Amino acid sequence: MIRESLTPRTAWQRQFEDLGFSYHSIDGLYWDERYAYRFTADQIDILEQATIDLHQMSLQAVEHVIRHGQFERFAIPQSFWSYVEESWREKEFSLFGRFDLSWNGTGAPKMLEYNADTPTGLVESSVAQWYWMQDVYPNADQFNSLHEKLIDQWKKFDAKGVVHFVCADSEEDVGNLSYLRDTAIQAGFATKQMSINELGWDEANAELVDDNDVKIDNLFKLYPWEWLCREQFSSHLLSRPARIVEPAWKMLLSNKAILPVLWELFPDHPNLLPAYTEAWRISGNFVKKPLLSREGENISIYADGNVIHTEGEYGQEGFIYQAYAPQPKFDDGITPAYTSIGSWVVGDEAAGIGIREDETLITKDTSRFIPHYFVD
């Protein structure tokens, strides 16, 4: 795993805008092709197998939580406990997720968390870096089968009628949602995209409806379950008026409380870090994480007598404590960076990686995206 310095292509911005990647320069610098990460084929094999193993262990952890009724550990509203269990028992359709890993190319990749409900970074991981590689390294390869696998996975969604796609009104979310909608269209579905704020409830017919008062039978939401189940209309969801993707059982996997469960079930697994609900059980440096934290908010790293902390809106729901596995640092003397690997899952298959860089040890929504390739 080598970080290379490169000269950015000319007019790459126009290419990406034509592809629907309009937020390439959000916060000033997001997509960054001044650098690239080069892997060997053997390293990609390690990442792929680790992703498959972690996903299968995570599914076993969901079964364990549900079988033993441990919903309270996850700060899930009690009214939704039976909904989560029914969703799991009925094997409701799941599309995708993303593991965040710490790895420097040697040893075993370490799981930091599983973004299993509303992962973003999809357009850049699937489309943008593929076009970049075709221009810059046309004879190389890339760990990236996201597009094909998303279309194939949508074809397993046994649903009739229109699939409504909703998200909050942010440029990044809308871009990711539009891309996912396109993969559903290519899989043969009729679709409609709108804002989460345009969801409505028809009291007379007990139906979810869109902005034209048309009944919603299938809903893909790029909107977290922990927010959805606390909305004013959330009680109506308990009657299960529509098929929702991602399914309710993903509330467990996208919650940091799954990390101690994984460690309980698979202690000393090479891809896992020790994780507990009590800090004192960790020997050495550790990270304090809110159960529902997103985009690096309210994370505290306690390492070697120092504390690194980010502000945010999370923490009231509780915390977990995870052994500290610092992201590898790469430094060319110009732009030093700590690197996090996002490894994608589509259905139950590993589907590619996307790499984020930050000048701090905590990856945030402003962290840069760096393309990658591999050679035999």
* Tens-digit pLDDT profile for residues 34-49: 999 999 999 999 999 9
What integer best gives the mean pLDDT of the chain?
A: 96
What is the value of pTM for the model shown? 0.96
The per-residue pLDDT for range 94-130, each reduced to its tens digit, is: 999 999 999 999 999 999 999 999 999 999 999 999 9
In the predicted model, is pLDDT for residue 364 greater than 90? no
Q: Per-residue DSSP letters for 272-340?
A: ---EESSGGGS-S-EEEEETT--TTTT-EEEETTEEEE---S--TT-EEEEE--PPPEE--SSS-EEEE
- pLDDT tier for residue 232 given thresholds of 50, 70 and 90: confident
In the predicted model, is pLDDT for residue 3 greater than 90? yes
Q: Residue 124's closest CA among 375, 368, 376?
A: 368
Burial 22-32 (b: 16+ CB within 10 A, else e): bbbeeeeebbb
Distance, in Å, from the CA atom of 370 to the CA atom of 189, rounded to the nearest integer, reads: 32
Pairing of the two strands 35-40 and 368-370: unpaired
The predicted structure's pLDDT at residue 192:
98
Residue 326 CB coordination number (10 Å): 14
The per-residue pLDDT for range 268-297, each reduced to its tens digit, is: 999 999 999 999 999 999 999 999 998 889
